[in-house]
Structures are given as structure tokens and as C-alpha cells.
Amino acid sequence: MLDSQPQRAAARLLSWIEDEDPRAVAALQATWSRTGNGYVIGVTGPPGAGKSTLVDCLAVHAAAQGHTVGVLAVDPTSPFSGGAVLGDRLRMNGAQQQGVFIRSVATRGHLGGLTATTRYLVNALELLGCDLVFVETVGAGQGDVEVVQLADTTVVVEVPGLGDEVQAQKAGILEIGDLLLVNKSDRPGADRLAQELLSAVELGEPRDWQPPVLQVTAIEGTGIDAAWDAIVDHRAHMEAGPLADDRLARQMHELEQQLQQQLFRDRMVTIGDKALRSAAERVLARRSDPFSAINRLAN
Amino acid sequence: MLDSQPQRAAARLLSWIEDEDPRAVAALQATWSRTGNGYVIGVTGPPGAGKSTLVDCLAVHAAAQGHTVGVLAVDPTSPFSGGAVLGDRLRMNGAQQQGVFIRSVATRGHLGGLTATTRYLVNALELLGCDLVFVETVGAGQGDVEVVQLADTTVVVEVPGLGDEVQAQKAGILEIGDLLLVNKSDRPGADRLAQELLSAVELGEPRDWQPPVLQVTAIEGTGIDAAWDAIVDHRAHMEAGPLADDRLARQMHELEQQLQQQLFRDRMVTIGDKALRSAAERVLARRSDPFSAINRLAN
């Protein structure tokens, strides 16, 4: 770990990002060259899948292997309030006692989008000394796909007994999983769910990496060793080849998002906020179609 | 309903939007003045809440009241495949038999974002003669908030027994609900859930409209009358005042999204795609921080 001075600076940076303090940008710029050394593991899945318990187990396990571990529980779900619903969230005592750095954040993605803002939170954890960061999305799986895009390894957590509609969703979420975990495997239907996931993987497009399907019961710590080993395997696979291209593609996507927002801000300075309002009024009154309105605003 | 020629054109427009056919834009422009007459009801909630059954019940009920009803089941969840997972989805026979126009669409939002694209699908349904359109998001509730932003009335569906993590999410999703429905109210825990939702509403910020909390069991058709009446009440409340401002704010947001994308496309024509790639390479190699990179790309 770092000595106390840089560590205080890193902790302050983390708070600045969370609090949307404008000083965050300069601090990120000043420290940029010292970030980027962490490996990021994304964890997603439907509500009720037990993601936080699972992440805590994996984090403790990784810490025991010598990693300095950070956990970001990101709540992208409060675009209307901006408030954290995470404050009263239960976390296992284990993880925090064993030196795992856990941070629950509700962010609307003020620093150029949700993925970018979460990426900067990861960078702040790297400055705190973390070489391994779990990014867990609190919430609803599919909508959190965006956040997971910053992960080097993505773990998808499923759970038996969530109903038929969930089944239909798996097609989408399966495609992003490098590792599929059936949590709460002591429940009825766990074996069948694991079998279905395995079939889905085998029926899918052949890939360089075939996502393993494993059963765990995080609350009892069952299956965590095997899940961790699968993560290590995937990391080795990534680092032997695809990781660099993968990170480049993701960085390009992030820059694209941020550039869009920057160009918009610059344009608004030129044309004024009222232009947007009056364009919207014309579109609603059917005096202009939206495509023509956009062209006028852009040129 | 319209005569067959415009109806064929409207059906073709719907397909063009779904298929990302470039002819969709000109067709939307040509028909823009004839759209915007529908009232949009958004339905969201967690997976397994029984949204599709509920929407089908409400749609049949509305059709019986004399409305020409459309249903869009939007799947925003396949950013990686673009494929519909809705094809094999079960829908009640009732709705389709009773003249309700149902369309399940997987869209990545190619026409300027997910909300805008869904809005255009609503416009196509309006051209088919629909004066009432349900937009149901398939999937995960929170992440689908974006799509729901085009609704004039938003129905949030909850269901007992989805676990503790779901509870924590309610804060966010409650804020968007104009009507809160506890579905599957024949299940244990339904009364308690309804009571909790009611308390949450009463504890929240006072609003012009206090969202009612109602219990339904869609699969048996129980409570649908009362739910429909609550929607009608909310519509009357909106049309007596807030609707115009509400629609204006939403239209401004849509135009903002689309303008961002347009400005980005225009900029890429000027600087070339390679500039983005080389900026991403510099950022990853820590030779440039992302904020400086964006400034260089934007100017």
C-alpha cells in the first residue's frame, strides 16, 4: 500500500467523483499516469441474485491470495433522485475486516457517462493501491450492461426461481458473461438452471473463450474457490491475447460518449439553450419534424 | 381505422424502423404532421412481475372502452446481438383477437437513441389509427427507465417475493410511477408489499399527484377495472395541466440526445475515425488523460 499522503489524496479524489466536485477532473488529470494498473471484474445479474454477497466472498478470497482488492457497488438507478439507496445496504462484515476496500456509489455519470465515471472511480481505487477491482451493479442486470462494459472479466449471476420472464432475458445477458454463476444453488431448480445455461452457451456462437457455468451458494461460501479459479483462467486467457484490443475498443467507446457530450456543450454555448426549447416546441406542434430540427440545430 | 392504403404504409414504416431501414427517416418526416395524437402509457417493473400479462389485460379493457389500442413490447436488452428474444414470447390470445395491435421489438435505438426510436414506433402505431399506446419494457425495470420517459402515464409493476435486493431498488423506481400495481396479489406477501409501497409514497416528497397503490392479479383478470380507472384519473390530471410542460421537457431531452449524436457524426467526418482510435491509444498508454484528449478531438 501507499504511504498516507497519496492515500489521503486518493480517498479525497474518490469523494470528489462521488460528490460531483469540479476538482475531480484536475485531480484525475494530475494522477492519470499512475492509474490503469488494476484488473477489473464486473459482476451483473438480476435483482435478488445475491450479487453483493457473492462479490464479498470473491473479494475476501482474492485478498487471501495476496491481491489488494477494491469493490465498487454502483447504483445507476436513480436518474431522478441522484440519491443513494445503498446507504442501508447490508454488506458482509468479512470483506471489510479483511482489508477489502468497499465503496457503494450512486452516480448519474456526470463525468461523461456512467461507464466513464465508474472508470474514474476504479482509477481512484487504483491510486489507493488496489490491483483488483470488482464492479458490481446494483439492480437489474440488463440495464447495467453499460457499466459492465468497463470490465476485463464479466461475471453474470443467475438464480433459480425468478420466473419465466427471466428466462427470456438470458439470451442478452449471456452474451456478455465470461463466467456464468448460478447462485443460491441450494434452492430447487438450480441444477436445471445450470443445465439450461450450459445448453445456451453450447448453442451459441463458438467463441475463443467458452464461458464456464458454475454453481455457488455465496451465503455459505460454497463454490467460491472454483468461481475464483475460473476468473483467474479467464484473466490468463485475456492477457495472453485479446485484452489489449478489448480495452482499446472500450476506451474508444468511452471517448465517443464523452466527445458527444463535449460537442453538445460547445454547441449550446453557440446557439443558446432557448434554441433547443423552441425546436422542441416546433416538433411537438408538428411545425417541424425532429430530423429537420436536429439538422438546423447542428448547422 | 384508416383505409387500407395508409394502413399498409404505416405497417411498412413500422417494419422499416424495426429493420433499421434508412427509408424510415423520410417516411417519418413525410407523416410527421399526422402523428402525435396518441396517449402513451409506459409499464415497467422487475423481471418476473408479469408485465406482459398485465398489459394485455389493460389493453383488452381499453379496447372495450372504445380505444384503438397499440402495444409495444420493447426489448432494449440486446446491445450485443441486436436480436429479438421476444419471438417465442407468450402473449395472451385475448388481446390480439380483440383488435389490439401488438408489436414486440428489439431495438438498439438506431434512430437517435432508444427513447427516440421507441417514440417513432409509437408514431407509426398512431398512423395505424391507435389513440392509446402501451409501451412495455421487457426486462429489468431500472435500466428501462429511459424508455419509460416517453410515457404520459407510467405504471410501475411490483410483485411479492422477489427478495431483499428488490426492496432496496424501490426508491428509484417509485419516483417514476404514476400508478403502482402489486401484481400476483394472490401470492403471500402481497398485502405487506402494497402497504410498504403506500408508506414509501406517503413518506416521499408531496406531489400534485399522489400515486395510488393497487393490487391486481393479472392472470385472473382481478383488479384490472380499478387499475384502468386509475390510469384514466391520472390522464385527466395530466391533461388538466402538467401534460404540455411534461411533453415539452421530454421532447427537449430527446432532441438533446439526437443532437449529440448528430454533432458527433459531423465531427467524425471532419477529423476521421482514426483520430478517435489514436486518442484512445494515447489514453490507454497514459500519454494523455481523457479530458485533454476530448478537448483535442472537439476543437
Alpha carbon distance B108, B125 (integer Å):
19
Q: What is the pLDDT of residue B65?
A: 93
A7, A1 Cβ separation under 8 angstroms:
yes
Q: Read off the pLDDT band of B23 (50, 70, 90).
A: very high
Please provide the CATH number assigned to the domain covering A4-240: 3.40.50.300
A151, A42 Cβ separation under 8 angstroms:
yes
Grid-cell match 482474492, residue found: A62
Number of Cβ atoms within 10 Å of the Cβ of A164: 12
Grid-cell match 395530466, residue found: B238
What residues of chain B, 25 to 84, have a C-beta less than 8 Å from chain A? 25, 28-29, 32-33, 35-36, 46-52, 75-81, 83
Q: What is the pLDDT of residue B4?
A: 78
Q: What is the pLDDT of residue A104?
A: 82
Using CA atoms of B82, B86, B88, B91 in order, give the dihedral in degrees to the nearest 10.
Answer: -170
User: Who among A263, A277, A281 is closest to B267 (CB)?
Assistant: A263
Q: What is the pLDDT of residue A82?
A: 36
Radius of gyration of chain A (CA): 21
- Of the candidates A250, A249, A44, which has an alpha carbon nearest to the alpha carbon of residue A149? A250
Q: Name residue A94's beta-bridge partners.
A: none
What is the interface size between A and B, counted as CB pairs within 8 Å? 257
- Interface probe for B, chosen from A166, A251, A281, A299 (most Cβ of B below 10 Å), is A251
pLDDT at position A266 over 90: yes
Q: What is the pLDDT of residue B59?
A: 95
Comparing A141-155, B28-42, B201-215, the range with the smallest average pLDDT is A141-155
B204, B173 Cβ separation under 8 angstroms:
no
Which residue type occupies B133?
A: V
User: Who among A79, A163, A298 is closest to B47 (CB)?
Assistant: A163
Comparing A83-87, A188-192, B30-34, the range with the smallest average pLDDT is A83-87
Using CA atoms of A91, A40, A183, B47 in order, give the dihedral in degrees to the nearest 10.
Answer: 90
- B6 grid coordinates: 395508409
Q: What is the pLDDT of residue A79?
A: 42
**Mean of pLDDT values over B58-76:** 90
> In degrees rounded to 5, what are phi and psi of residue B287?
-85, -15
Give yes or no for A297 touching B (CB within 8 A): yes
Radius of gyration of chain B (CA): 21
A205, A213 Cβ separation under 8 angstroms:
no
- Tell me the ipTM for this assembly: 0.87
Q: What is the pLDDT of residue A148?
A: 73
Average pLDDT for chain A: 84
Q: Count CA atoms within 13 Å of residue B262 on its CB side.
A: 19
Alpha carbon distance A74, A17 (integer Å):
13
- A86 grid coordinates: 445503498
Give yes or no for A167 touching B (CB within 8 A): no
pLDDT at position A172 over 80: no
Between A200 and B82, the more confident residue is A200
pLDDT at position A90 over 80: no
As separate numbers, helices (DSSP H) first and strands (DSSP E) second, chain A gives 12, 7
> What does the H/E/C string look like for B23-65?
HHHHHHHHHHHHCCCCEEEEEECCCCCCHHHHHHHHHHHHHHC
pLDDT at position A81 over 90: no
User: Who among A50, A116, A252 is closest to B276 (CB)?
Assistant: A252
B28, A291 Cβ separation under 8 angstroms:
yes
pLDDT at position B267 over 70: yes
Q: Angle A173-B148-B185 (CA atoms, 0-180°, nearest 5)?
A: 80
Domain boundaries, chain B: 4-240, 252-298
Q: What is the pLDDT of residue B191?
A: 92
- Out of A109-113, A148-152, A277-281, B114-118, give the one with best mean pLDDT: A277-281
Alpha carbon distance B174, B201 (integer Å):
8
Between B177 and B99, the more confident residue is B177
Sign of CA dihedral B190, B195, B196, B197: positive
Alpha carbon distance A210, A227 (integer Å):
15
**Mean of pLDDT values over A44-72:** 90
**Mean of pLDDT values over A250-275:** 92
Give yes or no for A165 touching B (CB within 8 A): yes
pLDDT at position B170 over 90: no
DSSP 3-state helix, strand, coil percentages of chain A (rounded to 5)?
55, 15, 35
Average pLDDT for chain B: 84
Q: What is the pTM of this model?
A: 0.77
Q: What is the pLDDT of residue B82?
A: 36
Alpha carbon distance B220, B222 (integer Å):
5
Q: Read off the pLDDT band of B172 (50, 70, 90).
A: low
Q: Name residue B215's beta-bridge partners.
A: B182
B171, A82 Cβ separation under 8 angstroms:
no
- B145 grid coordinates: 427507465
Give all strands of the β-sheet with B69-75 in edge-to-edge order.
B101-106, B69-75, B132-137, B39-44, B153-158, B179-182, B213-215
- Interface probe for B, chosen from A37, A184, A255, A282 (most Cβ of B below 10 Å), is A255
Provide the percentage of residues in chain B whose pLDDT is more than 90: 55
Q: What is the pLDDT of residue A120?
A: 93
Express each pLDDT in A190-211 by its tens digit: 999 899 888 888 877 778 899 9
Q: What is the pLDDT of residue A199?
A: 85
Number of Cβ atoms within 10 Å of the Cβ of A8: 12
> Looking at residue B204, what DSSP letter applies?
S
Q: What is the pLDDT of residue B144?
A: 58
**DSSP per-residue codes, A112-130:** TSHHHHHHHHHHHHHHTT-
Q: Read off the pLDDT band of B171 (50, 70, 90).
A: low
> Under 8 Å CB-to-CB from A182, ≥6 apart: which residues?
A158, A159, A160, A190, A193, A194, A197, A213, A214, A215, A216
Q: Read off the pLDDT band of B90 (50, 70, 90).
A: very low
- Interface probe for B, chosen from A123, A144, A252 (most Cβ of B below 10 Å), is A252
Express each pLDDT in A106-152 by its tens digit: 766 777 777 888 899 999 999 999 999 999 886 554 445 677 778 99
